[in-house]
Amino acid sequence: MFNSLRPNSLGELLEIIDNGDYYIFAGGTDLFIRKRQWQGAERKFDKDVVFISHLEELRGIFEDRNYYRLKTCVTQDEVANSDLLPDYLRIPYGLMGNPAIRNTATVGGNIVNAAMVADSLPLFYALDAVIVLKSIQGDRILSIRDFILGRYKTDRYENEIMYEVIIPKEDFTGYRYKKIGSRKSSILSKLSVFMVYRKAHGKIVDIRVSVGAVNDVPIRSEEAEKEFIKDNNLDKFLLTIREMMEGEDDRRSTKLYREEIGLRIIKNFLEEVMEE
Amino acid sequence: MKIRDRICRVDSVEKINGKVRYIEDIDFENLHFARTLRSGIAKGEILSIDYPEIPDGIWVVDASDTPVNEVLMIKGDMPVFADKTVNYIGEPIALIVGKDKQQVIEFMNGIVVNYRKDEGIFHIDECRGHEDMTYSSYEYQKGDIGELDYDDTFEKVYSTGYQEQLYMEKQGLVGEYSDNIVTIHGSMQCPYYIKNALIHCTELPGDNIRVIQNTTGGAFGGKEEYPSLMACQLAVAAMKIKAPVELIFDRREDILYTTKRHPSQTRIKTYLKERRIVGMAFTYELDGGPYWGLTDVVLQRGILTLTGCYNIENVKVEGKAYKTNNIFTGAFRGFGAPQSMFALEQHMNQLARYLNKDPIEFRRQYFVKKGDISATSGVFNETIMLQEMADKLEKMSDYEEIKNKKDYYHGVGVAFIPHGGGFTGDGEASHIKAVVNLKKDESGSVHILVSSVEMGQGAKTVLAKIVASALDIGIDRIVYDDPDTFKVPDSGPTVASRTTMVVGGLLYKAARKLKPLMSQKGEVLVTETFKQPDNIKWDQTQLRGNAYLSYSWAAVIAEVEVDPITFEIKCTNIHGVYDVGLPIDEDTFIGQVHGGVAQGVGYGMLEVMESIDGLIQQNSFSSYSVPTMADMPRMYTDWIYNPYKEGPYGAKAAGELTLVGVAPAIASAVQDAIGIEINDLPVTSEKILAEVLR
């Protein structure tokens, strides 16, 4: 048996999670599936469950001069159809899961779950996003890289809620995104590549490339990006990324495919951008 | 009504508005729930089972409760519950039954099974040449391949993987026992297969066994033999507990442990003389899993039409099915033909390329026609219109234009497929002996009394239409309830694309008999029994003669685009021309085509299912990727009329045919697009990359 709690406010939520260990249930598209044991029987929750998706304080997409802010319970569909957000966020969100999943699954869930196949993480890595965690003691602000510790591992304390993700606004010239799954829809990625860039006077002045679903966490090398801006040496850039790849054979794909095709996509993206 | 009238499917409204009740929706008083205790190893001996203290309300049902511990399929080698030895991962050892699911789960969590583990056999390469690992072995010849005059040979090996039926409604049955009668309700294709298995297992007389089908949400062969196992377990459980017991699998359980399409390997060696085929030799092998099941029959369907749509003068065919410790393989739409036809059609495409000929032109030289001798040395009795079908296909697909598209990542592939309707050889007459009844009641309604089931394929619509047309009455006067073995005769299993052609044919004859009696007062019952047409001759020991009552034909073109950077494949178009005699209901037939294409696209390029040491790796909707709407090609469908004398209104088999040609057409299109050889299904981006880098 387990208890279900439904706090009436963010304050109440923070009180609750400060006094015990809970499953925090937002969209539930992953958690609810993972905890099943037999259709018609109780879910196997070994801790009490606290529901949060009804809390208005955890919803909404905002912008100010320098940042976009996505609250944790914003659904994937709300991102995909937002009037505020740029295409480089909207389009990848529109390719996640399927319509039913996107209407329920949340921005926060995809991040906190920290699955290697989480499609939002490569975006946030490339965009230098920041995670805001709230607890009764106050806020903690971490870069996405410091927040994600590994496969299914984050730096969230038990008494914290992931409150929002903050994305710096940049004047990008364009973006590229490629997600590959074993079918066209309703599928977890076996590989994804995200790139944003800025060009000035025909030269690349900012480039960010991240690769998802190959390693436990997204691959990105700021060092290699800086070098590339200086020398435009594509082979050198690809070599650095190749050396960072630790793909595996699993039921979705092969190490060879993930690594080779990941590099082919990056090469193609960069060549396109250089020629533009 | 008339047979060509367009009607709404008779079962669509209640399925769309949600009124229909599947087995899981039905309440039974005092219902108990069963969960299966399964083997955790692929091969070995059960040394002991440590059960926690059995609390009130929990029952353990196992081999010791089972009167005859055999599930009668073709043989009875599969136990109802594993007793001492286990032969595959997931093999049932016991049912744990209780009214409270949570209590059942808690009890199951405390069970420890102690095994002595043995080395399992997981690949057919390990079985070759071992008598004890071979279920069946067949060989037949036409002409003399040993005495051939040839100047060249072309030899390739083809392989295919598992495929899961993935019916929307999972396996589910309820067993009851009262007044010394065992009743099984649920999702199934073959009520009388279950009845016969229950007679064998319970040793009750046939009159004490009742099987009632419920609305069945898809089957595709997956509910042909497998429910017999579940029904035996439930009968034993219900007899022990004296209460109704429900066994409904969870999706993962269903994907992991129920029957799959047989993985195969086919070697084809073609002998050429002056660039013409003079002989072909085939070796066709199947992974039959741990028990006989229906493997022997799947093997026969795989090998009996191995020369496909072609008249080859000298043929040698060897077929073997092996015993492994992989998952139980069984019936699945196509039944051995998707494997053998992939091999043959891909071989024909590669041969055409080798001889520098257009793949359709190349095939035309060899198309069978009426009067030709088949691979099994029977005479093709019917008109065969493959040339006309090829003409139609070329025209509808703009073949000349699409095959010359210059984009190097666009490809066109071709397949021509025969499919024999009904049971193999004389099986309809010697094994099935179908009986149908038609009953006019006092109100003037006509009841179709058959054991054939509606499982989504359209049987209720098609059979009702045949009877209503033959009687020239409105379809609303036809009653066709889900079969109950206490009420309907054995018209055979709902398999082998036989329902329209064979059962529909008998119903048509029965309706013709009934027509002059319609004005009689009171109830009128007419019966019709299958008789083998005189021109069908079959020798089962030699595999010689007419392998099927009649053949349906398919001509398919697939167009694909391959992404030159990622090697992702998109099947853009499927063009198909079919000869099913006459489609009884055109919309239902188009539904069969679209469903067949979906399952064929899955088999051809999406549905990767790998087994590691006997355990299936892709065990959910998220990891086993059947096509979504976004993966579906545009489908262009047409047919020719070529009525079959014995079929109702000329109708032949339609159900399986539409699936079989899709995968080979896609594989050859990918081959055409990127110029590498595809010899293994499904074609995936990973395989293409590995081949490109080789």
CA distance A171 to B224: 61
Q: Do A251 and B618 touch (CB under 8 A)?
A: yes
Residue listed under structure tokens 């019952």: B525
Q: Would you state the pLDDT for residue B148? A: 96
Structure confidence at residue A1 as a pLDDT band (50, 70, 90)? confident
Instruction: Inform me whether the C-beta atom of residue A104 falls under 8 Å from chain B C-beta atoms.
Output: no
Residue-wise pLDDT for B92-120, tens only, equals 999 999 999 999 999 999 999 999 999 99
Domain boundaries, position A202: 174-275
| Same-domain status, A53 and A146 | yes
DSSP B8-60: --TTHHHHHTT----GGG---TT-EEEEEEE-SSSSEEEEEEEPPP--TTEEE
Instruction: Please determine, for residue B408, whether its predicted confidence score (pLDDT) is greater than 80.
Output: no
Residue-wise pLDDT for B268-277, tens only, equals 999 999 999 9
Chain B residues in contact with A94 by the CB 8 A cut-off are none
| Same-domain status, A52 and A160 | yes
Q: Select from A168, A193, A210 the last residue of a domain.
A: A168
Instruction: Inform me whether the C-beta atom of residue A46 falls under 8 Å from chain B C-beta atoms.
Output: no
Structure confidence at residue A130 as a pLDDT band (50, 70, 90)? very high
Q: Do A181 and B35 touch (CB under 8 A)?
A: no
Distance from CA of A188 to the nearest CA of B (A): 7
CA distance B654 to B582: 10
Q: Any idea what the CATH number is for the domain that residue A22 is in?
A: 3.30.465.10
Q: What is the ipTM of this complex?
A: 0.95
Structure confidence at residue B406 as a pLDDT band (50, 70, 90)? confident
How many structural domains is chain A composed of? 2
Give me the mean pLDDT over the B11-32 stretch: 96
Q: Which residue of B has its CA nearest to A255?
A: B686
Domain boundaries, chain B: 23-119+165-257, 264-424+542-693, 434-529
Chain B residues in contact with A254 by the CB 8 A cut-off are 686, 690
Instruction: Inform me whether the C-beta atom of residue A183 falls under 8 Å from chain B C-beta atoms.
Output: yes
Instruction: Tell me if A121 sits within 8 A of A212, measured CB to CB.
Output: yes
Give me the mean pLDDT over the A95-116 stretch: 97
Burial class (CB in 10 A: 0-12, 13-18, 19+), B119: exposed
| Same-domain status, A158 and A180 | no
DSSP B480-549: -PPPBTTTS-----S-TT-IIIIIHHHHHHHHHHHGGGTTSSS-EEEEEE----TT--EETTTTEE-SSS
Instruction: Inform me whether the C-beta atom of residue A230 falls under 8 Å from chain B C-beta atoms.
Output: no
Instruction: Tell me if B530 sits within 8 A of B433, measured CB to CB.
Output: yes
Q: Which residues contact B106 (CB under 8 A, 6 or more apart)?
A: none
Q: Do B102 and A265 touch (CB under 8 A)?
A: no
Distance from CA of A142 to the nearest CA of B (A): 32
Instruction: Tell me if B672 sits within 8 A of B559, measured CB to CB.
Output: no
Residue-wise pLDDT for A36-59, tens only, equals 999 889 899 999 999 999 999 999
Residue listed under structure tokens 């660039």: B275
Peptide bond before B682: cis, by omega within 30 degrees of 0?
A: yes
Instruction: Please determine, for residue B158, whether its predicted confidence score (pLDDT) is greater than 90.
Output: yes
Q: Do A261 and B689 touch (CB under 8 A)?
A: yes
Residue A80, classed as helix, strand or coil, is helix
Pairing assessment for the beta strands A22-25 and A48-51 based on DSSP bridges: parallel
Inter-chain Cβ pairs, chain A and chain B, closer than 8 A: 77
Tokens of B91: 């093999």
3-state secondary structure B80-144: CCCCCEECCCCCEEEEEEECCHHHHHHHHHCCEEEEEECCCCCCHHHCCCCHHHEEEEEEEEECC
Q: Any idea what the CATH number is for the domain that residue A244 is in?
A: 3.30.390.50
In what side-by-side order are the strands of the sheet with A67-71?
A: A61-63, A67-71, A161-168, A130-135, A138-143
Residue B615, classed as helix, strand or coil, is strand
Give me the mean pLDDT over the A71-90 stretch: 98
Instruction: Please determine, for residue A210, whether its predicted confidence score (pLDDT) is greater than 80.
Output: yes
Q: Would you say domain B434-529 falls under CATH 3.40.50.720?
A: no
User: In this predicted structure, which of B116-120, B404-408, B586-590 has the lowest mean pLDDT?
Assistant: B404-408
CB atoms within 10 A of CB B114: 10
Nearest alpha-carbon partner for B434 in B192, B71, B73: B192
Class of domain B23-119+165-257: alpha beta
> Is there a common fold for B23-119+165-257 and B434-529?
no
Q: Do B685 and A180 touch (CB under 8 A)?
A: yes
Chain A residues in contact with B690 by the CB 8 A cut-off are 254, 256
Q: Would you state the pLDDT for residue A276? A: 86
Q: Would you state the pLDDT for residue A165? A: 98
| Same-domain status, A30 and A159 | yes
Q: Do B565 and A265 touch (CB under 8 A)?
A: yes
Q: Select from A168, A195, A217 the last residue of a domain.
A: A168
| Same-domain status, A30 and A158 | yes
Residue-wise pLDDT for B652-662, tens only, equals 999 999 999 99
| Same-domain status, A13 and A130 | yes
DSSP B335: T
Enclosing H/E stretch for B590: helix B586-601
Q: Give pTM, 2 decimals.
A: 0.97
Tokens of B132: 């004890």
Average pLDDT, chain A: 97
Q: Would you state the pLDDT for residue B407? A: 74
| Same-domain status, A163 and A191 | no
Class of domain B264-424+542-693: alpha beta
Distance from CA of A200 to the nearest CA of B (A): 28
Q: Select from A150, A168, A186 the last residue of a domain.
A: A168
Distance from CA of A252 to the nearest CA of B (A): 7
Residue B342, classed as helix, strand or coil, is helix
Q: Would you state the pLDDT for residue B551? A: 97
